[in-house]
Chain A
Amino acid sequence: MIKLEGINKTFDDGYEALKDINLHCNSGEITVLIGPSGCGKTTTMKLINRLINQSEGKIYFDGEDISDINPVELRRSVGYVIQHVGLFPHMTIEKNIGVVPKLLKWEDDRIKTRVNELLNMVGLDPETYRQRYPSELSGGQQQRIGVIRALAAEPPIILMDEPFSALDPISREQLQDELVRLQKNIQKTIVFVTHDMDEALKIADQIVLMKDGVIVQQGTPEEILRYPANDFVEDFIGQKRLKQVQDIPTVGEVMNEKPVTISPTRGLAEAMKVMENKRVDTLIVVDNDNQLTGYITVYDVTQAFDNVDQHVKDIMHTFQHTINADMLLSNAIRMMNNLQTPYLPVVKDDGSLVGVLTRGSIVGYIGTAYPSVKEAVVN
């Protein structure tokens, strides 16, 4: 985790670029810094890898004050994609990508394998591009090299300063998708700077909106879209996007708030009776503190029914996926569709159950939201 605490940065010429910045970038998450030109995004990045030093405040990596870490060592463990690509013009693509592994004294074979792997990852054929010089690549290709150069030595923290700005919309989306997909596996702590709100919304776990050296708002994409802190944020998001979001309900508005539940210590006969009474084929299991613990199906109960010693907890399955009540319904539907699941439990951050989103509840909502649908169904 990266933590910035009370950061102020005043440049030598007296310009106050950052004022009282407090920021947590969670491990394994993508934190996106966004804001108008000159608001201090790059300055914030440079503080994190000690290219410049703050005038006041502290920065911690996992609780360790980074001013106690040797800056050269620190930077080798922090991948950095600089704003203007900054490839070394006198080195081949292969050498450029291998710079940090080489500094870390990796063996040549290992570097070569890694370089090929990375080139393939961004869709550049190693045979074609390995021996070229940066000037022999297009701007977008150079930018890809800048990105994979930062990933080369698998640093736990990666700083990316407008890494996709020179790409055409299609390759940009491809690389965004690739980043999101990759991040699922590699779980790096990424700080990502962009000007592009769509990009931020797409990849961010957390968005940090900055203006004139202060943080105006930070939160999940969901929170920012739903509860913009002020006019500046609204303007930055754009009316079109706001409208889109505000028309889409959240899971909380649609879910069934009274799912049929059972305690893990109950017997199977009792479970069967609850299913019969409520006419459901699945029961959600919650403990006495209303913590979601799993589910049982009617199939499980009939299979194990003859065994008197068995309780709900013995035949229970756990959930692989849960959702939050403030998730957009559209996202939840997409998720249900991808997972091919008929329902998803809705929990709070502390893991307690607040409801269940089922296909039935979605259809019910659509019925109320679109009267014409209801009529069509009635006819």
Chain B
Amino acid sequence: MDSLASFFNYIIDNWLLLLTLTWEHIAMVILGLSLALLIGIPLGVLSAKNEKLAPVILATVNIIQVFPSIALLGILMIFFGLGFKTVVVGLFLYSLLPIVRNTYVGLREVNGNINQAGTGLGMNAFQLLFKVQLPLSAPFLLAGVRVAAVIAVAVATLAPFIGGEGLGRSILDGINSRQPVKIYSGAVISALLAIIADLTLGRAQKKITIK
């Protein structure tokens, strides 16, 4: 009971610091995810449209994904140095697989009749993609974003190891200074972030899924 009280006291006393860290955490995740969407959706589309490229692209993003996060961040550090930028690139790479794969699967799942109707009514390849195929695969894509977001929130706690900030800072400080409350507050808030991301994206996904 004692530790729980000191946990809350810590949060109340340091709310401004924790809020800043939380905000930094969210910013890294959103930037990483946005980059992943920007690059991942076109890669997914490319895989769905080109049967020869598909295995190459999917295998590559798969390999990135299975790299242990510390190792990957370490390698990135060599190229990008210490700091925020490196973390964002790392999060981007980790989010890539769910987004590429789900875009690919979503496009593949679009019913052949629907595609044929679009083409048959006179849509060109771009119109078919943007008016029919992408909207119809949006629920899949959103599922991918949901997975990616949860992974990114978790991986982002490693940011301080390579010079980033975010909630990981609180955890790392706690470990170094043997102050468990710092560890707990960093961990609990990042867990909450992951849960919130999961719930809101899950709700959005349900909303755009066509009955």
Task: List which B88-114 residues lie within 8 A (CB) of chain A.
Answer: 113-114
B117 in contact with A88 (CB, 8 Å): yes
- Cβ contact of A100, chosen from B119, B121, B132, B210, cutoff 8 A: B121
B116 in contact with A82 (CB, 8 Å): yes
CA A360 – CA B211 in complex, angstroms? 65
Binding site secondary structure of chain B: helix
Chain B CB within 10 Å, residue with most, of A51, A73, A88? A88
Question: Which of B63-71, B72-80, B122-130 is the contact stretch?
Answer: B122-130
- Smallest CB–CB gap between A236 and chain B, Å? 27
Q: How many residues on chain B are close to A (CB under 8 Å)?
A: 17
- Cβ contact of A82, chosen from B120, B122, B135, cutoff 8 A: B120
Assign chain A's interface to a size class.
20 to 34
Assess whether A130 is interfacial by the CB under 8 Å rule. Answer: no
Assess whether B118 is interfacial by the CB under 8 Å rule. Answer: yes
Assess whether A133 is interfacial by the CB under 8 Å rule. Answer: yes
Chain A CB within 10 Å, residue with most, of B117, B122, B210, B211? B122
Assess whether B136 is interfacial by the CB under 8 Å rule. Answer: yes
CA A150 – CA B122 in complex, angstroms? 11
CA A149 – CA B136 in complex, angstroms? 19
Task: Knowing A51-B116, A84-B113, say if A90 contacts B122 (CB, 8 Å).
Answer: no
A135 in contact with B210 (CB, 8 Å): yes
Task: List which A243-277 residues lie within 8 A (CB) of chain B.
Answer: none
Count of A-B contacts judged by CB separation below 8 Å: 56
- Cβ contact of B122, chosen from A84, A89, A100, cutoff 8 A: A100
B114 in contact with A89 (CB, 8 Å): yes
B121 in contact with A133 (CB, 8 Å): no
A99 in contact with B121 (CB, 8 Å): yes
User: Looking across the interface, which residue of chain B has its beta carbon closest to that of A90?
Assistant: B135
Task: List which B132-156 residues lie within 8 A (CB) of chain A.
Answer: 132, 135-136
- Cβ contact of B121, chosen from A73, A84, A135, A149, cutoff 8 A: A149
Q: Which residues of the other chain, A, contact B118 by a CB distance below 8 angstroms?
A: 88
B121 in contact with A75 (CB, 8 Å): yes
A89 in contact with B120 (CB, 8 Å): no
A86 in contact with B113 (CB, 8 Å): yes
Q: Which residues of the other chain, B, contact A51 by a CB distance below 8 angstroms?
A: 116, 119-120
Assess whether A376 is interfacial by the CB under 8 Å rule. Answer: no
Q: Which residues of the other chain, B, contact A85 by a CB distance below 8 angstroms?
A: 113
CA A200 – CA B6 in complex, angstroms? 84
Q: Which residues of the other chain, A, contact B116 by a CB distance below 8 angstroms?
A: 51, 82, 86
CA A75 – CA B122 in complex, angstroms? 5
Assess whether A103 is interfacial by the CB under 8 Å rule. Answer: yes
Assess whether A80 is interfacial by the CB under 8 Å rule. Answer: yes
Q: Which residues of the other chain, A, contact B121 by a CB distance below 8 angstroms?
A: 75-76, 80, 99-100, 103, 149-150
User: Looking across the interface, which residue of chain A has its beta carbon closest to that of B210?
Assistant: A89
- Smallest CB–CB gap between A50 and chain B, Å? 9
Assess whether A49 is interfacial by the CB under 8 Å rule. Answer: yes
A103 in contact with B210 (CB, 8 Å): no
Assess whether A72 is interfacial by the CB under 8 Å rule. Answer: yes
Assess whether A87 is interfacial by the CB under 8 Å rule. Answer: yes
Task: List which A38-81 residues lie within 8 A (CB) of chain B.
Answer: 49, 51, 72-76, 80
- Smallest CB–CB gap between B136 and chain A, Å? 6
Task: List which B159-185 residues lie within 8 A (CB) of chain A.
Answer: none
- Smallest CB–CB gap between B135 and chain A, Å? 5
User: Looking across the interface, which residue of chain A has its beta carbon closest to that of B118?
Assistant: A88
Q: Which residues of the other chain, B, contact A99 by a CB distance below 8 angstroms?
A: 121, 123
